Structure 1
Amino acid sequence: MSAAPVTEAQEERRRAARALLASPLLTSGSEEFRLVRKHGGELASWFTQETGWRLVVDAETARLYKTPARLDDATRPARAARSKAPFTRRRYVLLCLALATLERADAQITLGRLAEGVLTGTADPVLADAGIEFRMERREERSDLVAAVRLLLEWGVLHRVAGDEDAYLSEASNDVLYDVRRRVLAALPAATCGPSTVEAADPDERLMVLTAEVAPETEELRLRALRHRLTRRLLDDPVVYYAELPEDERAYLVSQRYAITRRITELTGLVPEARAEGLAMVDPDDDLTDLRMPEQGTDGHVTLLIATHLATAEGPRTEEQLNSLARELAIQYRSYWRKSAAEPAAAAELAAQALDRLAALGLVSRDAGTVTAKPALVRYALAAPTIRKARSRA
């Protein structure tokens, strides 16, 4: 029996939901934003019921306040707008200081003034005690600030009026002017309580307090909380392994798998892929993701080859063994890869980037320099070819 055809309204809701999942903060001016505003009521109801996430839509922004299912997942960091390099601790600190400066800024601000505000923020004794300091005298420091600013441009917090960040990188006297979109800025924090009310000093404890939710008091509320956590993981994580779930979540997912995945499919178009080890929601259009596998280019090829090696290897591998493999592959494929891949120091970087991607996709685990393949990696194993004998003619 074939599935019922998708109506135009359902297709619009699907596009709007996928846009929110890909970018939880949308700003006015795009077709996706228009669709979210049009179907905002139904979308808000679905996300509240199925995930516990809050959707707020106004004339300028559409903000899906997502609470992560796991607070210990460090595999998907913020990335630089152009290079896609993961944010370092230094850049995260700069981003937070820039946001604090913008909160007190006028309707317009220059990059120079923003840098001054960040420098003032670094004078805080807490940052000094943590060994964090910025002078903005070196190009490297200005590059870190520019990476944070370009992320704010991508989010729509800032709008460039005049100038260019590349000129500022060359010389700090070359300034850039921005409009500050205050409503977008105000929509950024996705917390269940005001950050200023949190007294915990430890970063992990602060994060737990910022995202803490009311403990369920009845059996009905407990089951709803389970559904929320599992739906969040299925929407956010590439794969959900039964072995990694607490007992109550595993039992609930096994019993309610069909109902949960059906509702996700109806809204988003994602298709469930069920295996003995776990469950994944697969995107037939392959665009609702920030990481693809496989991917074109040298880095993508390295990742695929290392994945194949790990999928067929007997037991875990050390990162040093994989660095050696990357060096061998660089020689074997030197005619096809970029020239820098053959440099002596490149192998470790190529292998590290490949492992970062595989870990973010839930395909490997890393612990103290040891890399272990996860069950879903088996799809990248190469089977031995089967050679059929030709039939003899009578």
Structure 2
Amino acid sequence: MRDAADGHDQLVDVLDRQRDEERRRAVRALLRHPLLTSAEPEAFVLVRRHAAWLREWFAREAGWSLHVEGSVARLRKVPGEHGDATRAAGGPLGAKAFSRRRYVLTCLALAALERAESQVTLGWLVDRILAFSADPELVAAGVEFTLDSREERADLVAVARLLMATGVLTRVAGDEQAFVNRSGDALYDVDRRVLAVLLVARRGPSTVSTRDFAERLRAITEDVVPDTEDGRNRAIRHALTRRLLDDPVLYYADLTEEERAYLTSQRTHLLRRLTEATGLVPEVRAEGIALLDPTGETTDLGMPEEGTDGHAALLLAEYLAAALRERPGEPVAVSDLREHVARLARRHRTHWRKTATEPGAERELTEQSLRRLEALGLVRRDGDAVLPLPALARFAYAEPNIVGETTA
């Protein structure tokens, strides 16, 4: 009887470990892809299987709601702070970040799709966008869209591809580039389930009267917090958790006095809950905290990476780390970084792409590298000045430690 009981206990332990690991993978999947569809079958199945637990955990720890139905799972992530400009549509390293016009076109496209049939063409979508863009309020705000230029048609293609990437549209036939060249069109299926859960807001943007952008953003995302000590502590915990889960680094210097005090007293408990549920590994330093992912499942951007751009970013990080060590707190001029990248291109010309040594190529290489470093929380930019941040020290080479004596 004892052997049977021991075997049963071992089986329960195995099943519990399997369940906990599945939940960690589901959490990591949602952190990487807050909008999941059945097109990602492995991750989606895990989220569906553990939906109740995930819904309760995200709500308790981060104040984020999780919607799961049919073939769609939507984690309504609200950022810990709104000043991060590195999360543009298309990714921080895109050849052309989404402009104000592209974002406006995206909103107009979504409005048009709300009234669309189950299939639409790109041409039909463009016609509706053109009609909507004639709204007097948009015109008064300086938004113009005529489709006369190739650049404007390219903007529409970028919007269509963003909607395909999110799962709102699925291409059935045709090609977007043909539309840009005025030689064809594209046909799409519209997924209304994805369309319905795309917007993440605490209140409808149309209900906000202020025209100030920062105030509008705060109004549609702010949480209603009870004016009690427990309510205030919960709001602080949610804000810290959001930044730990969503940002590459949480710097103490960026926190309010209340947030620093809460983190000082609750850090051990907070990190234990987060790491147990996610499988992430905490790295706690004097300047801040980072949750590292040894699996890489939550990482959408990292270092180092292969190729000319990745190597340039790594070497520029090393250069800035040395500047941080020698002159802590002092910014580095972008012009100095461009000169350094130009020297690097000449030094590594046999390994880097051929165009890297062409006149002016250092400007784009430097800009690409800085976008990566800024998105990773390693530098902060202010105009033509770049401030190396403490986490960049991990890319500094240590001074050599010579053991023993040498002879001439």
User: Which TM-score applies when normalising by structure 1?
Assistant: 0.93
Q: 2:99 aligns with which of 88, 94, 98?
A: 88
CA distance in 1: counterparts of 2:120 and 2:92, whole angstroms? 21
Matched, 1:386 2:401: yes
1:272 aligns with 2:287: no
Correspondence for 2:378: 363
Unpaired stretches in structure 1, ≥5 consecutive residues: none
TM-align CA RMSD:
2.0
Match of 1:121 in 2: 132
CA shift for structure 1 position 100: 1.4
Contact 1:311-1:378 at 8 Å conserved across structures: yes
Contact preservation (8 Å) 2:86, 2:92 = no
Q: What's the offset of the Cα at 1:47?
A: 0.5
The alignment status of 1:311 with 2:321, answered yes or no, reads yes
Secondary structure of 1:289 counterpart: coil
Taking the aligned partners of 2:203 and 2:142, their CA distance within structure 1 comes to: 29
Report the CA distance between 1:103 and its aligned residue.
1.4
The residue that corresponds to 1:224 in the other structure is 234
Match of 1:346 among 361, 368, 387: 361
**Higher mean C-alpha deviation, range 52-61 or range 211-220:** 211-220
Deviates most, 349-358 or 161-170: 161-170
Alpha-carbon distance, 1:316 to partner: 2.0
Change in CA separation of 1:89 and 1:75 when aligned onto 2, cut-off 3 Å: same
Q: How many corresponding residue pairs?
A: 388
Separation of aligned partners in 2, 1:329 and 1:234: 34
* SS of alignment partner, residue 134 of structure 1: coil
Cα deviation per residue 1:223-252 (whole Å; 9 max; x = unaligned)? 111111111010001111111100111111
Q: Helix, strand or coil: the match of 1:69?
A: coil
Structure 2 gaps of 5+ residues are 1-12
1:387 positional shift: 3.6
Q: Deviations over 1:158-181 (max 9, x none)?
A: 11111122322332x411111111
219, 233, 239: which one aligns with 2:243 = 233
Deviation at 1:84, TM superposition (A): 6.2
Contact 1:51/1:232 (8 A) holds in 2: yes
Matches of 2:201 and 2:74, distance apart in 1: 12
Aligned partners of 2:270, 2:154: CA distance in 1, in Å?
44
C-alpha separation in 1, matches of 2:119 and 2:341: 48
Q: How does 1:48-197 map to 2 (within 5 A)?
A: 48-79=59-90, 85-171=96-182, 173-197=183-207
Counterpart among 45, 70, 79 of residue 34 in structure 1: 45
TM, length-normalised to structure 2: 0.90
Partners of 1:141 and 1:341 in 2: CA distance: 30
**How far apart are residue 353 of structure 1 and its match?**
1.5
Q: CA deviation at 1:80?
A: 6.5
Q: Displacement of 1:346 after TM fit?
A: 1.7
Report if aligned partners of 1:216, 1:225 keep a CA contact under 8 Å in 2. no
Summarize the Cα distance change of 1:326–1:305 in structure 2 as closer, same or farther, 3 Å threshold.
Answer: same
> 2:141 & 2:319 partners in 1: Cα distance?
41
Sequence identity percentage: 55
Contact 1:80/1:151 (8 A) holds in 2:
no
SS in 2 for 1:77: coil
For 2:255 and 2:294, the matched residues in 1 are separated by 26
Q: Which moved more, 1:16-25 or 1:124-133?
A: 124-133
Following TM superposition, by how much is the alpha carbon of 1:59 offset from its aligned partner in structure 2, in angstroms? 0.9
